């Protein structure tokens, strides 16, 4: 059984790309659908999904997701899917074109942040991101440490 719990709003998280918040500045977020094969659904329910190193591109008015790993399904034998195939993302045409333009003109990247079930459908939260330099990453770590120390001090008093 999967230990992930369903939240009050009916969202059950499958996987998250926690490294994205460390490596990038997040400019804009968008919830999109994802086109999956039947054999990919069971590994999603079991949480066998990895978003690390995956990214999306706009090609000919469509969004495509690359390098997302969905584990194999032991019950689908010869009809099993490729684990790291490119997958089409489902969004409004205007959003796709707008994000594609921003990627081409500003040098930003589209990165998935998390994948989850919402009302029985698999959804993906993608973000338009800008890369962080090494000193920005150190600054982020310092801020998080200071915030944690502050919370620890206040937690003891109240």
Q: Kindly report the average pLDDT of the chain as a whole number.
A: 87
Q: How many CB atoms lie within 10 A of CB 98?
A: 16
Q: Is the pLDDT of residue 58 over 60?
A: yes
Tens digit of each residue's pLDDT (9 = 90 or more) over 21-54: 888 999 999 999 999 888 888 888 888 899 988 9
- Alpha-carbon distance of 129 to 107, in angstroms, equals 9
DSSP-derived 3-state class of residue 13: strand
CATH architecture, range 11-132:
Beta Barrel (2.40)
CB under 8 Å to 36, separation ≥6 — which residues? 44, 70, 87, 122
Tens digit of each residue's pLDDT (9 = 90 or more) over 126-156: 999 998 888 888 988 899 999 999 988 888 6
Domain positions in the chain are 11-132
Q: Is the pLDDT of residue 2 over 60?
A: no
pLDDT at 22: 86
Q: What kind and span of H or E run contains 97? A: helix 93-106
Q: What kind and span of H or E run contains 19? A: helix 19-23
pLDDT at 1: 44
């Amino acid at each position: 059984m999967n230990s992930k719990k369903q939240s009050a709003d009916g969202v059950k998280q499958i996987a998250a790309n926690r490294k994205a918040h460390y490596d990038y500045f997040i400019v804009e977020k968008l919830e999109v659908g994802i086109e999956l094969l039947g054999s990919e659904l069971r590994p999603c329910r079991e949480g066998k999904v990895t978003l690390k190193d995956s990214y999306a591109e706009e090609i000919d008015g469509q969004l495509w997701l690359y390098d997302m790993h969905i584990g194999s399904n032991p019950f689908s034998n010869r009809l099993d899917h490729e684990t790291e195939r490119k997958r089409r993302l489902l969004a409004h045409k205007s959003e796709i074109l707008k994000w594609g333009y921003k990627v081409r003109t500003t040098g930003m990247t589209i990165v998935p942040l998390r994948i989850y079930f919402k009302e029985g459908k698999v959804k993906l939260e993608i973000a338009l991101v800008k890369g962080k330099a090494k000193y920005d990453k150190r600054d982020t770590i310092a801020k998080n440490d200071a915030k944690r120390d502050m919370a620890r001090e206040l937690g003891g008093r109240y």
